[in-house]
Amino acid sequence: MMLFNIFHRPGPGAHYDIYRQQQELAHQLGLKTTIFLYYSDLFDPRAIADAIRDRDTHGDEISLALHNLTGPGISEISNGQIALWLLDRESKEQILARMIGKFAEVFGANPTSIGSYHLDSSCLEILRRLAPEARTVIGGCFEEGVRVFHGCNHSWYLFNEGMPWNPWYPSKTHGLRPARAEEDAAGVVAVPHLVRDMSLAFEGRNDFWASHPPNVIRGMGNDASFCPYDLNLIDQYRMQAEWNGGYSYYNTFVSPSWLDWNHNSEYPPEVAWELYRKFLTYMADLKKKGQLEDLTLSSYGERHRQIRPVGHDEVYLAKELLYGSGKHYFWFIDPAYRVTIDATQGGSIGDLRPYAGEAPVATGPDTPHRDIGSYPYLIQSQHRSGNAHHCYDGARTTLLLKHGEQTLDLCNFRTKAASVERADGKVKLTLSPVRFTFSDGLTGELTTRYEFGKGVITISRRVTDLSAQVDLDLVEYFKGAPGRTEYPEDLHGIVLEANGASPLRREFDYSGKWSDAPGATEVAAIIPHVRSRLSLTSESAVSGSVHAGHLFSPYFTLQLTHRLTGNGTTSSCLNLTPIAA
């Protein structure tokens, strides 16, 4: 079953008529909407009357939008700032008090849902105190930060990477981190502003590729009103119900300006309207077939509480839809981490967010984070190089296969997701086998299997069909660095460790030196930047090594080596545990 939200908001001037046409279209199709009113709309008798009529006639919900901070009593506080989360805490509190108070004055009660492109931890705390009735919010945009910043000519200061792609329970200390337990939760259900293409969210401009037909036009993914991509993306989200308790989630939020003449589109408004009409008609048809339920935002929040407990995990298997590349990406999220498996690069980890450390972030000029609301990464191979393609490699994992004097890097082999299953309280991903050949003619097949859950990623490597009974070294390799953008941060303070016959412990010093640990079954990095200890462990390993990169390759590297004679299987665990702040 797909659960679906439609979000609409008025626009000024002629855009108000477009908003009314959007509402009329949804109602003709028998679909409910959630109407987001800006603070300035709360002084517009027409906007208020129309919203009340739609609520009373069609069951729509009236909600408060926390953007475009203009209107009596708040323009002089915001001073041109349109983004609430980028104000100082005192200004956030003053503006929210005025907005919520005016909403209650107009409608006789506080809003039951609230929308924003981003809600940092301080905004969430203030909201819960001033409007406890608002238990469901649009809490983030899932625009994977820096790439969007580039594409918007360095002018869209929405740095909220590392968040869930589906609805979540925000934590008290970071609005984008899913809460570990009830006592860690901020008290609301959050949904993303649009749902995104989860393959292009990793390697493309996911502000183009989302549940927003006019944005797809902006990305030129259509041929006039012919755009199968829109409906294919819906269907891919519907498929995720198989691994997520029988439910999937979708929403759309198209502002009136996108259905008018627009500098982002080479087409006239009629094309955007036709695609939006096809989109909503498809959703209405799914509803008639009993495969979709349309809900207001607050109603969705109540449903989410019934079907998803705090601390739940979520899975997404993304198959690239637009370009025909055949690429597969697998996403997993729980309160300990968010991870992306890039099957195109041998099944390497392409993105890793260490939620276990519960790094706190509030944004605003009165915080050290200022405009960066992202949850930090340990691996982000799109921003930080990944597999070597110009000079050194960057943040990634891989398996190095060693035989004689030759080393094969699994990142240079393409795989696909062969199967996804839930068993024994974990999610299990098996990748398609890779056929490898060494220069001396030795051949074999390698199959990788991941298990996710409870702060651990278990990585199994199975070698079969080896053409000779020879020694083969399998080196698990993790290269990472804490960060929030594409630029390196100061890595001083990281401590590298290994056990073994002669345990080692060394400070990260940018020396470029390797330290070997014969007999090691654990190599680790203590990373105060994300309040986490990352360890790579295996009882069958024969040695380990750690590396502090230099300034032209500012990463730490962990390696564990296994030795097979002939066919066999190795198993390693990647563990994330919190450390004291």
Could you say which DSSP state residue 242 is in?
G
How far, CA to CA in Å, does 259 sit from each of 31, 170, 253, 275? Answer: 19, 32, 12, 10
Show contacts of 126-132: CB within 8 Å, 24+ apart. Answer: 126/89, 126/92, 126/93, 126/96, 127/96, 127/188, 128/186, 128/187, 128/188, 130/96, 130/97, 130/100, 131/100, 132/187
Residue environment code for 403-414, b if the CB has 16+ CB neighbours within 10 A, otherwise e: beeeebbbbebe
Instruction: Let me know whether 135 and 189 are in one domain.
Output: yes
CA–CA separation, 556 and 23 (whole Å): 53
The CB density around residue 181, as the number of other CB atoms within 10 Å, is 12
Identity (one letter) of the amino acid at 495? V
Which residue reads 């050949």 in tokens? 437
Instruction: Let me know whether 461 and 530 are in one domain.
Output: yes
Q: Report the pLDDT value the prediction gives residue 429, as an integer from 0 to 100.
A: 99
Angle between helices 269-288 and 14-28 (to 10 degrees): 30
Q: Report the pLDDT value the prediction gives residue 145, as an integer from 0 to 100.
A: 63
Which residue reads 């004679």 in tokens? 565
Strands 443-453 and 314-319: unpaired
Note whether 214 and 258 are within 8 A (CB). yes
Identity (one letter) of the amino acid at 57? T
Give the CA radius of gyration of the chain. 25
Task: Give the residue from 32, 36, 40, 97 showing the smallest Cα distance to 68.
Answer: 40
- Indicate the pTM of the whole model: 0.97
Could you list the residue range(s) of the whole structural domain that residue 285 is in? 2-319
Note whether 217 and 225 are within 8 A (CB). no
CA–CA separation, 174 and 484 (whole Å): 14
Q: Report the pLDDT value the prediction gives residue 103, as an integer from 0 to 100.
A: 99
Identity (one letter) of the amino acid at 316? Y
Low-confidence residues of the chain, pLDDT below 50? none
Instruction: Identify the domain boundary among 290, 319, 348.
Output: 319
Note whether 542 and 322 are within 8 A (CB). no
Instruction: Let me know whether 457 and 310 are in one domain.
Output: no
Q: Report the pLDDT value the prediction gives residue 149, as an integer from 0 to 100.
A: 84
CA–CA separation, 407 and 388 (whole Å): 14
Q: Report the pLDDT value the prediction gives residue 154, as an integer from 0 to 100.
A: 86
Instruction: Let me know whether 96 and 116 are in one domain.
Output: yes
**Residue 535 CB partners (closer than 8 Å, separation 6+):** 522, 523, 524, 525, 573, 574, 575, 577
Task: Give the residue from 14, 120, 111 showing the smallest Cα distance to 65.
Answer: 111
Instruction: Let me know whether 255 and 337 are in one domain.
Output: no
What is the DSSP annotation of 268-311? -HHHHHHHHHHHHHHHHHHHHTTSEEE--HHHHHHHHHHH--TT
Note whether 289 and 44 are within 8 A (CB). no
Instruction: Let me know whether 88 and 125 are in one domain.
Output: yes
How many structural domains compose the chain?
2
Note whether 29 and 285 are within 8 A (CB). no
Task: Give the residue from 476, 544, 549, 539 showing the smallest Cα distance to 504.
Answer: 544
CA distance from start to end of the chain: 42
CATH number at residue 419: 2.70.98.10
Instruction: Identify the domain boundary among 262, 284, 319.
Output: 319
Instruction: Let me know whether 310 and 391 are in one domain.
Output: no
Instruction: Identify the domain boundary among 255, 284, 319.
Output: 319
Q: What angle do CA 329, 191, 534 make, to 5 degrees?
A: 50
Instruction: Let me know whether 415 and 307 are in one domain.
Output: no
Element (H, E) at 216: helix 213-218
Q: Report the pLDDT value the prediction gives residue 146, as an integer from 0 to 100.
A: 67
Note whether 218 and 264 are within 8 A (CB). yes
Instruction: Let me know whether 314 and 336 are in one domain.
Output: no
Task: Give the residue from 53, 65, 56, 60 showing the smallest Cα distance to 34.
Answer: 60
Instruction: Let me know whether 461 and 571 are in one domain.
Output: yes
Which tokens go with 207?
């502000």
CATH number at residue 65: 3.20.20.510
Task: Give the residue from 149, 172, 171 showing the smallest Cα distance to 160.
Answer: 149
What is the DSSP annotation of 162-215? S--SS-B-BBSS-TTSBPSSGGGB-S-EEEESS-B-TTHHHHS-TTTSBS-HHH
Q: Report the pLDDT value the prediction gives residue 144, as an integer from 0 to 100.
A: 81
How far, CA to CA in Å, does 175 sit from each of 162, 314, 501? Answer: 11, 17, 44
Instruction: Let me know whether 301 and 210 are in one domain.
Output: yes
Instruction: Let me know whether 37 and 107 are in one domain.
Output: yes
